[in-house]
Amino acid sequence: MATLPLAENTTQNAIFKMYEDRAENAGRPHLGASVIGHDCHRYLWYLFRWAHIEKHEGRLLRLFETGTLQEKRLIENLQAAGVMVKAVDEDGEQFAFQSVGGHFGGSMDGAALGLVEAPKTWHVLEFKTANGRSFADIAKKGVEIAKPMHFAQMQLYMGWAILTRAMYIAVNKDNDDIYTERIEFNKRYFDALVEKAVSIISAEIPAIPLGVERTSMPCKWCSMVELCHGTAAPEVSCRTCVHVTPELDGNARCSCREHGKDLTLAEHRNACAKHLHIPNLL
């Protein structure tokens, strides 16, 4: 007997659709500390310029939420183990940092004092979740090799928070095992990451691709592959407009030469009738 296809109108799909309906599907106002460790400058430039906005399916959006929910549990675990944790500032907000005129930054998971490995030293806290295969790779190789983007993220938070150590805590989503690793601050690497952000934000055109063609690694699995190597059209917003310049002297300020003014975030997202794509995007 043939197996009947799954019905589309199911509770499972309704849950996933809820996540898709409430997703913002909009570019981040700034280049994030969580991505600056990516190898491809072209990818990062596309990301900052909102050349392509990723739209995730509901199942994946729910998976992202699962990672976020794990943070609260880990903070409670640390506190129960006698560790002092600061996860929010005096205003009750997550610790946020800005750099490069407000165009670059990120939010730190927290800071801890009283960790067993060095009880008198404040540590940046970075929480992650990983499937069994990825978790094993981290445990075998260490964060710097296995997850260079996570490593870069912690270096930035240490530099911005003026701390010299970070504690990386990863949870295995398959069996709830925990991996911890202390990371030492590297001032030279921190400075290089900030300079990298400056070069990407101030660049008028994208860098050359890392891969020669769309089937090359790492381009093959990149979310920007159709834009970079294919025929996909770039998004229409002020970030992809030739008239707009990210200024490095203000609070994430972008100026428009066509209208002679700074743009609000809403204006960024809703390009005017005089929008002209940056030629190198086409």
Q: Spell 236-246 as b/e; 16+ CB within 10 A means b.
A: ebbbbbebbeb
* pLDDT at res. 64: 87
* pLDDT at res. 135: 98
* pLDDT at res. 3: 59
* Two tokens, residue 273: 């009738």
* pLDDT at res. 149: 97
* pLDDT at res. 4: 54
10-residue mean pLDDT series, the chain (282 residues)? 63 89 83 96 96 89 89 97 95 94 96 98 97 97 98 98 98 96 98 98 92 83 89 92 93 93 89 93 86
* pLDDT at res. 214: 83
* pLDDT at res. 6: 56
Per residue, the 3-state secondary structure of the chain, as one string, reads CCCCCCCCCCHHHHHHHHHHHHCCCCCCCCEECCCCCCCCHHHHHHHHCCCCCCCCCHHHHHHHHHHHHHHHHHHHHHHHCCCEEECECCCCCECEEEEHHHCEEEECCEEEECCCCCCCCCEEEEEEEECHHHHHHHHHHCHHHHCHHHHHHHHHHHHHHCCCEEEEEEEECCCCCEEEEEEECCHHHHHHHHHHHHHHHHCCCCCCCCCCCCCCCCHHHCCCHHHHCCCCCCCCCHHHECCEEECCCCCCCEEECCCCEECCHHHHHCCCCCCCECHHHC
